[in-house]
Structure 1
Amino acid sequence: MAATQAKSAKADDMGDDALYPIAVLIDELRNEDVQLRLNSIKKLSTIALALGAERTRGELLPFLTDTIYDEDEVLLALAEQLGSFTSLVGGPEFVHCLLPPLESLSTVEETVVREKAVESLRTIADQHSAEHLERYFVPMIKRLSQGDWFTSRTSACGLYAVAYPRLSTAVKADLRKLFTGLCADDTPMVRRAAAAKLGEFAKVVEQEFLKADLIPEFFRLAQDEQDSVRLLAVEACASIASLLPKDEIEKRLVPSLKAAVEDRSWRVRYMVADKLVELQNALGPELSKTELVPAYQNLLRDGEAEVRTAAAGKLKEFCNNLPSEGREQIILSNIIPCVKELVNDSSQHVKAALATVIMGLAPLLGNEKTVEHLLPLFLIMLKDEVPEVRLNIISNLESVNSVIGVKQLSQSLLPAIVELAEDGKWRVRLAIIEYMPLLASQLGVDFFDEKLTALCLAWLVDQVHAIRDAATKNLRRLVEKFGLDWAKQTVIPKITELSKAQSYLHRLICLQCIRNLADVVGREASMKLLLPILMILAVDPVPNVRFNVAKTLREVAPTLDEGTRTNQVKQALQKLKEDKDADVQHFADQALHTIY
């Protein structure tokens, strides 16, 4: 009541009832409850709509600009809201009115708030006319670039690229000068921000100024005393290389790249490994072969596991991007020796990363070389003590199968797969189940029946519930792949066997199989093959089985014809509804209400 009176009094003090939304906003933003203030900021668009464009520009935005002192969460929401305010201030003609509050938000201490403010500024930059860019946006960039606090200067770095293309020649020169100043700033955080945006800015700067102004700054940043700056210079290297002619790349950028590969900081070397394919695309096939292959060898043999992990993950892409002429020999002579070392690496992360991509070399090397050089490595990794390594190999078998064929695959890899399928760790068995449909599509029904179907059926009676559950879903996917005839010959007999098992848990798995398969096998098979099993289990001595029969009948009913639903199903459920067990009665009643 008091709060309402205060708001009314505030509105009266303003002398205009139309100012009430602003009065409410003022009170709410001064409230001690952070959540209330956050909710108020999230309603800004509604308030602006009620005020109209003119009063939003004249009253709401100045108020917001003057009150940027709030909790970071509130400021973040404000920065995000203002990025979509263009239509609420009157359209592109007045979008510059949004700059003051966003400029203030770009200077706050909290990084995520500044980043969101810069993101909103980048969004509305495109909505400025060329004239307004120079009149309003560029002065803001200059103020931020020359601010006393590093926070404003770091924010400024993200705004150059979006403004530069539409500016006059003289203003462009000013911006280039300001940006080079940021690259040489005394504060490492500012140099880091400049290095992060150097590649983006380079893409919009004219070729002549790129060489004269930005390339020297790139070299300066690449040799910075702070490794956090040097590693971002590596990221910029790929963007700059894509803009320069081959001779300039070879003369000016390759030496810096070589230095980065041998940098004393592992984080810089990691960045080279992470950006390797981008650098490869920028340098072109010839330089990739002569300069990057030796660098890649060094990265694969790096002393830090994090660097080797990043490099190993790029194996397939890097080799695929090598020039086709001589690629096979480069891989065999330069890359495979390093890969052989990584197969037995001390770090499980390195081996896991390698296992996801090593199969991708098979199409590049062909049948004979794959069997000779890669197959022994696959077998070693399939027996690795780390489950993730083994699973990553199995998940990528398709590329090998297409090269060496089912026969070779069965002789060499299948024994290892079967061993994994019977692994003592249930999570390994679970993961293998997930890959069975993939193996089914690769191996074909005959080969799958001979080697793996028995395993799939054995999982139905596994001691671990998660395995049994996954096995029933796996059967559904296999029936979808192999068809009804395969289901009749292989799966239905197993389900019938489970329905007669002594363990009630096996009988429950039988019901779960029926629920998963009913709509896949079709109406006729459901009525002739699955429904009789349900009728038998409806009188099972274990209540848990009987109420699961009721649940199963409810799910299976839509796959049956109306006559069967009316007669057999309804009668069975009515009988279960009269069961002495309360749970059976409950689920039978639920099923009756659902079906009828």
Structure 2
Amino acid sequence: MASDIDWETALGVPSDSIDDDIKGTDELKLSNRLYKTEEEIERFTVDENLGDVDRAIHLLKNGAAIQKSSVITALPSLLEDHNSETRTRVLPTILEAIPSESHDFQVAVGKTLIQLFSKSLLPPKAAMMVVAVAKKMIASRDNETVEIWTDVMIAAIKSLPLETIENEILPEVLLEGRTAQPAALRMRCCRVLGAVSERMEGRRIEELFFRKAMSLCQDTDYEVRACMCNQLNAIARSVGHQLTKNQLLPEYMELLMDEEDMVREAAIENLMKLMDFLDADAKRNMVVPLWRKLCDERPAGVMVLIAREFGGFMWANKDQMTETDARTFLTFYQSMAMSNSPEQREMLTCVGADGYDRNRLNRVLEAMSNDDSKIVRRRIAGGLHEVAAILKPTSYTTLKTVFLRLLSDREVEVFHALIKNLDRILKCFAGRDKEVAFGNLQHRRVENVLTSFPATTVISAPEASPRRPPPTHPTSRTRIDLLEQFENFTEYFDSSVLFDQCVTVLFQLVTAGNLVVPIKEVVIRCLCQFLRRLRRSDYREQVFRLLQDNLKNSPTYHNRLLYIRLLTHSLTQFSTSYFRNNLLPSLLDMTKDPVPNIRLSILHLLPAIRKIIRIPADSDLLHRLTEVLGEFATDTDRDVGRCAEEVFKGFGGTVGGGKGLASRAAAAARCGVGGAHGIGLNVDAIGRGSHSGLPPDAGGMTSAEEMEDRMKEEEEQLILSSEWENEEANKKRDMEEARQEFSRRLAEREV
């Protein structure tokens, strides 16, 4: 039997490294593992006719360990599909078997039960059964088993009847919470009291165990104090504001000043979680003074935690602080931001535009944006848009230096964090100027940003400097995110700035041979957006000419294919009239491209183009399309000819009589018959979209599409009119500036 085993493969070692004696020993072990006796096979075979519940019970009683584990794993789905039977038959079988099963089985059952209680799949009666088993398992000597089943008992509390909690659970855990008991039992008591608090009324909590909870906060073991501190929130929300203010908050104060850092951390975290529950009086008279004391003492072990919670504290208590309080906390914040610890500097929370300059927070922000730690700079970059939103009226003048510094950061992670919200920052920088919609900002504030924009970052990283290590190179994801922001630039930048700063870079990218296709796809979308929204006709014409020179007429197949994709995207971006008049002729010029894939791409576009043709106004264009279709029908490439047949059917042609489109087109060409009728195409049916061979989506535009098309056409007309308005506004501005300059010089001369 063992001689058939490929030992080298089974053991994962070469043959010459296996000693004969060792090999013989391994043969015995492996053969015993791989091959089962007839008795074992019969024992582990399950009747296929058994239902889900019966099969589960059979496996629990007779199955191997792995089969029992599969039942435990499937218990949630069993409860959902067979709730009653699973609760009355499967669950008791599992609970009965737990004490005698292996450690792994006990832990697996415990984890599954916690999951069931979290989904509220077990009723009170089942919860009582589980708690009875949990009490036995907690007496185990194995720490993992004790921990898991303690969690099970705590999870079961929310499903237990209140009577059971008061009469059975509480008396036992209060005994465990006595000082003479081990610390582990006292910690379990703390956790159970916290879970019970969520089920009971405040009055009953005060009667039964409130004093015990307070005494556990003063326990001699610091782990017990920290554990009880973690339960105070649940107790506070149950007993109400008055008892919280009179007794719980003073307890928090003592815990915050505890000698152990672990207790202080628990107190700070839980006090911050309680902020939404406390009233204004408690915050003003107790929480704010407590934080002032913390800021004055600066306990070394919890400074990082204080830094992390500081922003939430300031926001939650901003209405309860006096001017003196605010100055104290902002002074503390400034010193924390200049700390030698990078973990403490990873914070930035602004208290509002009015106090930004007065409290010199700009100095903090500038220092952080120039920090040596890239983690700090990345945090600042990722949150700068929120600061800009708060400072909106003065965001450009206040944040320009920080913004440009982060924009040219040598770490791509920092740069990437900034550009993900670049459009929101630019919107704040644009301010309230009414001219922003037409790109004529009064002070050219956003143009100044783009003039300094590191466009080369799209292609490669900035140069290294002596102060910092060499730059990291941008990933494809960084380039794509940045290029997606380019699409928004037409909202904020003047056309001349866009043309000078962006168009050149985009054409370098689209013709580069070392960039992946997804990047070039985004570049194509950007160029399409620029072609549509640039507010000077000469710029649009130049972009279109560059597209034709660099893509349409390129000797490279990939570039020509990108031009087809540009036209595909243009179909959804431009109005139908603009596409027919400006872009469609260039597409039809490419029908004789030598590469079949180009011709196929054009064929795939024809059904969408047919939808935008209007009869009788575009009859000539329709005949041109059908002539192109006839040329494709006689194409030497088999795939192109087959695709032309399919498109022809969609156009309303009739393919029948064993004579295909290609043969009819060839015959028509020999007879000198051209156009739509030469290949049997029903032009009237195409115009009406009512021919029986026409698919539903090929019968012209729907009313919703026509409405959207009219809106696009109106927007294009608005852009054309705004071009004239911009020129007039520029002339008036130049004349006004010249007049002011003349008046100034005249005044100087008179003086």
Structure 2 unpaired stretches of 5+: 1-37, 462-473, 614-621, 652-694, 696-751
Deviates more, 1:203-212 or 1:55-64: 55-64
The answer to whether residue 524 in structure 2 is matched with residue 472 in structure 1 is yes
Contact 1:300 1:307 in 2 (8 A): yes
Cα displacement string for residues 379-426 of structure 1 (whole angstroms, at most 9, x for unaligned residues): 333333223434444513322222687434245311222545565235
- Offset of 1:276 from its aligned partner? 1.9
Which residue is 2:569 aligned to?
516
Which residue is 2:256 aligned to?
222
Cα displacement string for residues 212-239 of structure 1 (whole angstroms, at most 9, x for unaligned residues): 6534543454344553443232212324
The answer to whether residue 334 in structure 2 is matched with residue 297 in structure 1 is yes
The answer to whether residue 134 in structure 2 is matched with residue 76 in structure 1 is no
Which residue is 1:506 aligned to?
559
- Offset of 1:45 from its aligned partner? 0.9
Contact 2:503 2:527 in 1 (8 A): no
In structure 2, relative to structure 1, the CA distance for the partners of 1:99 and 1:115 (3 Å cut) is closer
Which residue is 1:134 aligned to?
166
Count of aligned residue pairs for this structure pair = 564
The answer to whether residue 580 in structure 2 is matched with residue 547 in structure 1 is no
Cα displacement string for residues 50-97 of structure 1 (whole angstroms, at most 9, x for unaligned residues): 6165556755555568768436566434421343354x64xx676545
- Offset of 1:308 from its aligned partner? 0.5
Contact 1:221 1:233 in 2 (8 A): yes
The answer to whether residue 461 in structure 2 is matched with residue 461 in structure 1 is no
Q: Say which SS state the counterpart of residue 526 (structure 2) adopts.
A: helix
Cα displacement string for residues 251-307 of structure 1 (whole angstroms, at most 9, x for unaligned residues): 445313543xx2323xx2222222223211343342551442122112211211122
Contact 1:343 1:351 in 2 (8 A): yes
Which residue is 1:13 aligned to?
none
Task: Give the Cα–Cα distance (whole angstroms) in 2 for the partners of residues 590 and 96 of structure 1.
Answer: 69
Task: Give the Cα–Cα distance (whole angstroms) in 2 for the partners of residues 554 and 217 of structure 1.
Answer: 74
The answer to whether residue 466 in structure 2 is matched with residue 413 in structure 1 is no
Contact 2:560 2:598 in 1 (8 A): no
Which of the pair has more CA radius of gyration? 2
Task: Give the Cα–Cα distance (whole angstroms) in 2 for the partners of residues 473 and 113 of structure 1.
Answer: 55
- Offset of 1:443 from its aligned partner? 3.3
TM-score with structure 2 setting the length? 0.61
Q: Say which SS state the counterpart of residue 487 (structure 2) adopts.
A: helix
Which residue is 2:3 aligned to?
none
- Offset of 1:533 from its aligned partner? 4.2
Which residue is 1:400 aligned to?
429
Q: Say which SS state the counterpart of residue 115 (structure 2) adopts.
A: helix
Contact 1:199 1:235 in 2 (8 A): no
Cα displacement string for residues 15-65 of structure 1 (whole angstroms, at most 9, x for unaligned residues): x99983552351587523687355433443157526165556755555568
Task: Give the Cα–Cα distance (whole angstroms) in 2 for the partners of residues 424 and 413 of structure 1.
Answer: 20
The answer to whether residue 380 in structure 2 is matched with residue 354 in structure 1 is yes
Task: Give the Cα–Cα distance (whole angstroms) in 2 for the partners of residues 28 and 441 of structure 1.
Answer: 72
In structure 2, relative to structure 1, the CA distance for the partners of 1:391 and 1:97 (3 Å cut) is same
In structure 2, relative to structure 1, the CA distance for the partners of 1:495 and 1:195 (3 Å cut) is farther
Deviates more, 1:295-304 or 1:382-391: 382-391
Contact 1:352 1:389 in 2 (8 A): yes
Which residue is 2:294 aligned to?
256
Q: Say which SS state the counterpart of residue 443 (structure 1) adopts.
A: coil
Task: Give the Cα–Cα distance (whole angstroms) in 2 for the partners of residues 115 and 588 of structure 1.
Answer: 72
In structure 2, relative to structure 1, the CA distance for the partners of 1:341 and 1:459 (3 Å cut) is same
TM-score with structure 1 setting the length? 0.75
Which residue is 1:579 aligned to?
637
Contact 1:352 1:388 in 2 (8 A): yes
Root mean square deviation, CA, Å: 4.9
Aligned AA for 1:264? A
Aligned AA for 1:561? K
Query: Where in structure 2 are the equivalents of 1:93-492 lying within 5 Å?
Result: 96-97=128-129, 99-100=131-132, 109=144, 117=152, 120-121=155-156, 125=158, 130-135=162-167, 138=170, 150=184, 153=187, 157=191, 160=194, 163-164=197-198, 166-167=200-201, 169=203, 171-180=205-214, 182-183=216-217, 191-211=225-245, 213-224=247-258, 226-240=260-274, 242-243=278-279, 244-256=282-294, 258-259=296-297, 262-265=298-301, 268-285=302-319, 286-287=321-322, 289-309=326-346, 311-312=347-348, 314=349, 318-320=350-352, 327-328=354-355, 331-362=357-388, 371=397, 373-394=398-419, 395=422, 396-402=425-431, 406=441, 407-417=443-453, 419-420=455-456, 423-425=459-461, 427=475, 429-443=479-493, 448=498, 452-463=502-513, 464-465=515-516, 466-475=518-527, 489=541, 492=544
Task: Give the Cα–Cα distance (whole angstroms) in 2 for the partners of residues 27 and 447 of structure 1.
Answer: 79
Deviates more, 1:272-281 or 1:55-64: 55-64
The answer to whether residue 57 in structure 2 is matched with residue 23 in structure 1 is yes
Deviates more, 1:242-251 or 1:47-56: 47-56
In structure 2, relative to structure 1, the CA distance for the partners of 1:274 and 1:408 (3 Å cut) is farther
Contact 1:363 1:400 in 2 (8 A): no
In structure 2, relative to structure 1, the CA distance for the partners of 1:289 and 1:38 (3 Å cut) is same
Contact 1:7 1:27 in 2 (8 A): no
Q: Say which SS state the counterpart of residue 452 (structure 2) adopts.
A: helix
Task: Give the Cα–Cα distance (whole angstroms) in 1 for the partners of residues 153 and 649 of structure 2.
Answer: 58
In structure 2, relative to structure 1, the CA distance for the partners of 1:554 and 1:59 (3 Å cut) is same
- Offset of 1:346 from its aligned partner? 0.8
Identical-residue share of aligned pairs (%): 14
